[in-house]
Structure 1
Amino acid sequence: MKKGDELNAGAVEYVRGMPVVKIFNAPIVGFRSLYENIIGYRDMVYAYSMSCRISYVSFQWLLNIFIVLPIFLAAFKVAGGADPRLWSIKVLFFTLFMGIFFSNMMKIMYVFMYIYQANSAVDNLENLFTEMEEKSIDFGSLKEMKNHCIEFKNVDFSYDKNTKILSDFSLKLEENKVYALVGASGSGKSTIGKLISGLYPVDKGQILIGGEKIKNYDKNFLMDNIGI
């Protein structure tokens, strides 16, 4: 499940980065992480499959023995004078029964797998909502902007404890001007836009719009005035 999540995240990042590759003629080697995720997922699936081979093959052998055994039993009984038609019906019935038994056993095993996947998905969603609540901003009630200048003052930000995206970052954007943020994939361009929108609280420093801290504004007012 973890490897699958990493693979999905790598694929999304790859697709999102396609415009960067096309516009700036960037080398595709910049998306090596997707290739590594694919290889990692392949190795994990192969290792998991090989770890199940003894139990799965044993199950197949056991099932096939139960299917073949009645044939020898029927031959023995018929040789002893039993009704061949009756034992032919018994063998046919048992063979069909074991086929249905095998099919339903496989369904039961898949049900357990789907239950595990569903529980994992629900846990991920609950953790996501919990994380969003922990990182939410307590907005104010201000519904007016003196101007539309945007300023970052010594801002630190990280999505998690291990990876810092912005460190002591300062920037001032004057109103009525157009700016371009240019940088490598993962350098923090999108993060800056998200922080201006008030989607995440900063670890340190301040973000001001119109001379006021973002958290002083009413949330709906801020969302109505910022597009990303």
Structure 2
Amino acid sequence: MNLIKQYVKEYKNTYIQSVLLAVLGVVSGLAAYIVLAKMIVGLIGKNTEFGFYLQYGLMVLAAMVLKEIFAAASTSISHQATFYSLKKIRQEISKKLFRMPLGNVMNISSGKLKNIIVDQVDSMETILAHIIPEMTANIIGPILLLIYMFILDWRLAIVSLIPLVIGMFCMKSVMASYGKKYQQSVEINQKMNNAVVEYIGGIEVIKMFNQSETSYQKYSEAVHENAAFYYHWMKETMIGVSAYRKISPMSLLTILPLGVYFYLNGSLTIVTFITIIVLSFGTVENILTATNYMDDLSRIGTITKEIGLILDAPDLEHGKENVSLSGSDIELKNVDFSYSEDKKVLEGVSLTIGENQVTAFVGPSGGGKSTITKLIAGFWNADAGEVIIGGKNIKEIPLEQLSETISYVSQDNYLFDMSVRENIRIGKPSASDKEVEEMAKLSGCDEFIRGLSAGYDTIVGEGGGHLSGGEKQRISIARAMLKNAPIVILDEATSYMDT
């Protein structure tokens, strides 16, 4: 909820304008009912003046046109503010992922990340762009109309609400469990997303080791579980929702018999009777429109909780202001590190790497070589001890400055779905084409790049999927060389090299 308040506050004036326009739209629509009631009263009174009906008919038309104009303006304004808000939320998530420890990021599955960044943020569009102006307006409008109905005849005004109250009671059981059910739906969707991503991402291995049946079964079970959940959820809520939608608009069933009784005993005029009947339709219609957003309101807690998993996560410990480094020498002092509480990967590690010195870590798989490089690169903070670069504890160096100081080539190389040239240029966004090609030559990939269908402008596919492992690795090295950082870390950089 605080997340929503934060962005509503930022665009407070815009949302106020949107609400005011939405209220004007609803009031215009309700005014049409009032005018329509006068026309019906005229018919009952056998008014035969054409000018009377023309005048009021034009007023109804004008009211409906104004309703649509105000509604469109309100929606346009609220969406403008909302799309900027969603953009900022996604930008904040992106920045937060950069500031979080790499291990924490890796513990969030790709399916869950996709669900949070795409689905959950998208679902805030209804809350910000529609609920704030439209639900507010569709509550305020009927309240004003009910006040008018109470002024006309408080007895019929009260009985007109009886079907709505009964409908709300039918809906109560549905809404009571909605928040919990929606949380379950998010978890099941994330499970299905993970299964889909895993199945597609591992299709090569699945085919190679003939595991299609096992892998497909996992994917199929996730899809069936998702479908079964929504089917049973629909069955549980169908009666309550249907009863609510059928009973709530039946105000005529309560107004008509009592209205006839009051009219016959002389305590109600025909004009008031007809007016309240017509106005009750407008009241219920707008209240039903407002309650259509109740399920979205119930989802707010889950949505903000899911987004908060990232935005509220702890940052890596790093300084805020740039520091002066005495060089690019690296020192580890009694460093401890563990990925989990029960097993230390590094314990009491101390080492010194001088400036301009080439150092190789040699050891068995799982011995902590990659862990040391990631600690130096600032992907994690050490559990104990110090990692020092240029005479400064790495925790004192801002992430942006640390990123400028170190080039890191992972053993798991990732290329973006864009041209070879742009993938290399990531190392130095301002680099010219000549600089890009020069670094490609130095890293030994110019020849194979020129042999591609479009040379340096060839699109490499998602994750560099159109290239071999060795080609991706050499492009990654070219990218690191173009960055020209004082410290270069190659984490098994030759593991995919073509022989």
TM-score normalised over the length of structure 1: 0.55
Partner secondary structure for residue 64 of structure 1: coil
Q: Match for residue 16 of structure 1?
A: 201
Q: Match for residue 276 of structure 2?
A: 90
Q: Hey, what's the Cα distance between the residues in 2 that align with 1:47 and 1:33? A: 21
1:123-180 superposed Cα distances (whole Å, 9 cap, x missing partner): 43268x4699984999977475434x76534x4xxxxxxxxxxxxxxxxxxxxxxxxx
Q: Hey, what's the Cα distance between the residues in 1 that align with 2:233 and 2:374? A: 52
Q: Match for residue 105 of structure 1?
A: 291
1:178-202 superposed Cα distances (whole Å, 9 cap, x missing partner): xxxxxxxxxxxxxxxxxxxxxxxxx
Which structure is higher in helix share? 2
Once the 2 structures are TM-superposed, how far is the Cα of residue 102 of structure 1 from its aligned partner? 1.3
Q: Hey, what's the Cα distance between the residues in 1 that align with 2:188 and 2:237? A: 18
Q: Hey, what's the Cα distance between the residues in 1 that align with 2:230 and 2:316? A: 32
Matched ranges for 1:61-76 at <5 A: 61-66=246-251, 68-76=253-261
Q: Match for residue 187 of structure 1?
A: none
Matched ranges for 1:42-191 at <5 A: 42-66=227-251, 68-77=253-262, 83-113=269-299, 115-125=300-310, 129=313, 135=339, 142=353, 144-147=357-360, 151-153=363-365, 155=366
Q: Hey, what's the Cα distance between the residues in 2 that align with 1:152 and 1:131? A: 31
CA separation of 1:50 and 1:42: change in aligned 2, threshold 3 A? same
Matched ranges for 1:190-205 at <5 A: none
The answer to whether the aligner puts 1:224 opposite 2:436 as a matched pair is: no
Q: Match for residue 372 of structure 2?
A: 214
Q: Are the equivalent residues in 1 in contact too, given 2:248–2:284 (CA < 8 A)?
A: yes
Q: Are the equivalent residues in 2 in contact too, given 1:7–1:37 (CA < 8 A)?
A: yes
Q: Hey, what's the Cα distance between the residues in 2 that align with 1:88 and 1:69? A: 14
Q: Hey, what's the Cα distance between the residues in 2 that align with 1:102 and 1:223? A: 58
Q: Hey, what's the Cα distance between the residues in 2 that align with 1:2 and 1:132? A: 27
Q: Hey, what's the Cα distance between the residues in 2 that align with 1:33 and 1:105? A: 39
Give the unaligned 5+ runs of structure 2. 1-185, 318-337, 378-402, 414-499
Q: Match for residue 224 of structure 2?
A: 39
Give the unaligned 5+ runs of structure 1. 156-205
Identity %: 9
Q: Which has the higher contact order (CA 8 A, sep 6+)?
A: 1
**Letter of the structure 2 residue corresponding to residue 225 of structure 1:** V
Once the 2 structures are TM-superposed, how far is the Cα of residue 101 of structure 1 from its aligned partner? 0.7
Q: Hey, what's the Cα distance between the residues in 2 that align with 1:51 and 1:141? A: 65
Partner secondary structure for residue 364 of structure 2: strand
Q: Are the equivalent residues in 2 in contact too, given 1:21–1:28 (CA < 8 A)?
A: yes
Q: Hey, what's the Cα distance between the residues in 2 that align with 1:111 and 1:83? A: 42
Q: Hey, what's the Cα distance between the residues in 2 that align with 1:207 and 1:222? A: 20
Once the 2 structures are TM-superposed, how far is the Cα of residue 2 of structure 1 from its aligned partner? 1.5
Q: Hey, what's the Cα distance between the residues in 2 that align with 1:34 and 1:131? A: 34
**Letter of the structure 1 residue corresponding to residue 190 of structure 2:** D
Once the 2 structures are TM-superposed, how far is the Cα of residue 215 of structure 1 from its aligned partner? 5.0
CA separation of 1:48 and 1:98: change in aligned 2, threshold 3 A? same
Q: Hey, what's the Cα distance between the residues in 2 that align with 1:141 and 1:75? A: 96
Partner secondary structure for residue 224 of structure 1: strand
Q: Hey, what's the Cα distance between the residues in 2 that align with 1:216 and 1:99? A: 60
TM-score normalised over the length of structure 2: 0.28
Once the 2 structures are TM-superposed, how far is the Cα of residue 71 of structure 1 from its aligned partner? 3.4
**Letter of the structure 2 residue corresponding to residue 152 of structure 1:** P
Q: Hey, what's the Cα distance between the residues in 1 that align with 2:199 and 2:374? A: 36
Partner secondary structure for residue 291 of structure 2: helix
Q: Are the equivalent residues in 2 in contact too, given 1:141–1:218 (CA < 8 A)?
A: no
Partner secondary structure for residue 288 of structure 2: helix
CA separation of 1:85 and 1:43: change in aligned 2, threshold 3 A? same
Q: Are the equivalent residues in 1 in contact too, given 2:249–2:281 (CA < 8 A)?
A: no
The CA RMSD over aligned residues, in Å, is 4.1
CA separation of 1:225 and 1:38: change in aligned 2, threshold 3 A? closer
- Total equivalences in the alignment: 170
Which structure is higher in strand share? 1
1:76-124 superposed Cα distances (whole Å, 9 cap, x missing partner): 44555654443222111111101111111222332222x1222331343
